[in-house]
Each structure stands twice: as structure tokens, then as C-alpha cells.
Amino acid sequence: MFATLEQTDVAELHQFRDPATGLRALIALHSTRLGPALGGCRCLPYPDEHTALNDVCRLARGMSYKAALAGLPLGGGKAVIMEPDKPYDRAALYRAFGDAVNRLGGRYITAMDAGTEITDLDQVATRTRHVWGFSGDGMDPSPYTALGVFAALDAGIRHRFQRHGAKGLHIAIQGLGHVGSQLALMLARAGARLTLADLDPRRAQRLADRLNTRWVPADSLYDVACDIFMPCALGGVLNADTIPRLQAGLIVGAANNQLASDDDAQRLRQRDILYTPDYLNNAGGLISLALGHRQEDRSTIRQKVLGIGRTLSQLLDQADQHHLSPAQMADRQAEQRLHDDTGKHAWEAA
């Protein structure tokens, strides 16, 4: 356990168990230096505790870096619930999770993530006020996450292909949940040619039929010859096994922790595949929650989210100048901001 905490530089790990509801949850706080740790709650049927531990720690670090690069006065944290393998009362499970969040006294703020819905957060909100993005506050981050990824995609296209817009480009989208499906709709309107994939083939087929486009089984997407690959499902999909199969020149996705290891950024660079850092691409949801909590209007939130494209363009140029992968450059900048309070200053100037 401590080896995982040291590898991810996570400061705190909290474990919660409630036999009555079957709750087994982990909350990791990577950093609270710039503010309270904000991060979603992921609820999945993890195969074992080590997988859940590794996921929550890597996700917490990603949230710290995401907030730092976005210039927000927030730290990074994450929660995972090991979904029970037996029938359970979902509402009661999330109320128990709300009690767990409340025990941290506001040092951790929870939100939506894979496997958790707004209705689940509504249950959490009955036990704690430290929850953002539920029905009561009206802040749904997924449209802004999609908007930010779309802005990042445009920046990536300009850098990789020296052209503007996705019209006519072949884009393979992996994962058609809240964000992936919205991106598919946006890109179809923009004139892109799409190939879709999802672990649920019925979901992929329904959306493909709606957009009059193609879908393939989930694992086949890595072998599709395309211009752009967009991972929008779970993490670890870019690894030593899948990277050699990719036939894309650019990767811009919404999923967290797309790289299975730090070495995978170099593998992509060696194959001349431009990878844009996931926690920069998908910061739109976090930005919308933070600004929404400050009661900013939608126009202000939208402009701040669209700024992800400018930030990415600058980062890609700097990575080229320093002969680093974009992932290495992003980590370097995020760590610097975590230590020099740039995140606070950027927020105060906004």
C-alpha cells in the first residue's frame, strides 16, 4: 500500500466500510495545498483491492495536476467504491458514502465519475454538503467536459496536421458514455467521419445508427486506420500491448489515466503519435464545477473551458522546444504550479 502512495505521491488514504450497506470505499487525497481536494466518485466492480487502490491514487494525482494546470484553487482527490457483487440497496450505499465524505470535514469534495450518476449524488447530498454536481445545485459537468475536449481536439489538429477543424478527418471514439456520446454528436455536426466503439455493443450500434456511421467491437478499435483516436472510457488503454496496434497520428481523449504507465508516453512519441495529456483535455468539467460554485454565468464558464485549447497549444509548443513528450511537459508544469501557488494566483486574476 505505501509503495503505491509513494509512487503517486498521495498524501492521505482513507478507508471506509459499512457492513449494513456493503460499502467498501477508498478516498485518496493527493494534495490540499491550493484548496480542498475535489474529485469524483468512481463505482466499479473492481477485481481486487490492489486494483482499486492503484486506481484511486492515480486518479487523485491526476485531479491535482488538472486543477493546477487550470489555475483553480483546488487540490486533488478521488474516491472509489468497490461495487458489491451481491444485490444491494444503491441509495443506502451512497448515503453511507455520503457519511464517509462528511467525516473528512470538507477537505474532500465529491462529484460524478464512472459508475456514479446524478441520482446517486442526490443520495450523497442528504448526508453531506461537500458534493458538487447533483440535482440540487444544477451543475452537470459532462457537457463542459465534452466542450473542453473538443477545444483540445482542435488545438491538437492544428499542431499535428497544420489545419483547422475536424471536417473530413476520420476519428475513432472509444467509449460512448455521457462525454463520449456528446463528442460523437459534436464531431458528426462538424463533418468528421466516425468509427464508434463501446463495451456495450448495443449502445454503440444505437448511436452509430443515429449518426449513420460505423461501429466496431470495443477491442477492434485499436486496429482501425484513422487520423485521430479518442479514448473516452476508462484508463490504462494506452499500453505496451495496444500502442503498437494504433494507426492514428493524434490521440485526444476524455478518459482519465489513459496511459498505463509513464513509459507509454515515450512509446507513443517513438511511433510519432501525438498524445495530448488527458487531465488537460478533460478539465472542462472541473472548471465548470468550480466556476459554477462561485456562481459565474454560463458565458464565463464556457470561455474559461474553451481556454483549454489555448493552454494545450502553448504546452505542445513548449514540449517541442524542450524535446519532451506532452505528458512530461504537462507533469512538469503542474508540479511547478502545485509548489509555487500559481494556481491560486491564476484564479484570483480570473
**Annotated catalytic residue, options 66, 78, 304, 344:** 78
In one-letter notation, the amino acid at residue 68 is A
- Measured CA to CA, the distance from residue 109 to residue 73 in angstroms comes to 13
- Measured CA to CA, the distance from residue 199 to residue 47 in angstroms comes to 17
Residue 60: closest CA among 44, 42, 72, 46:
42
Element (H, E) at 338: helix 326-340
Please give the full DSSP string across 2-70, using - where no structure is assigned: HHHHHHHT--EEEEEEETTTTEEEEEEEEE-SSSSEEEEEEEE--SSHHHHHHHHHHHHHHHHHHHHHT
| Alpha carbon 193 to its chain's center | 24
Q: CB–CB of 204/220 below 8 Å?
A: no
Whether 344 is catalytic is: no
Residue 142: closest CA among 109, 175, 106:
175
Q: CB–CB of 170/195 below 8 Å?
A: yes
Burial class of residue 180 in the structure, from the number of CB atoms within 10 Å of its CB (0-12 exposed, 13-18 middle, 19+ buried)? buried
Question: Other CB atoms closer than 10 Å to residue 336's CB: what's the count?
Answer: 11
**Which residues does the annotation mark as catalytic?**
78
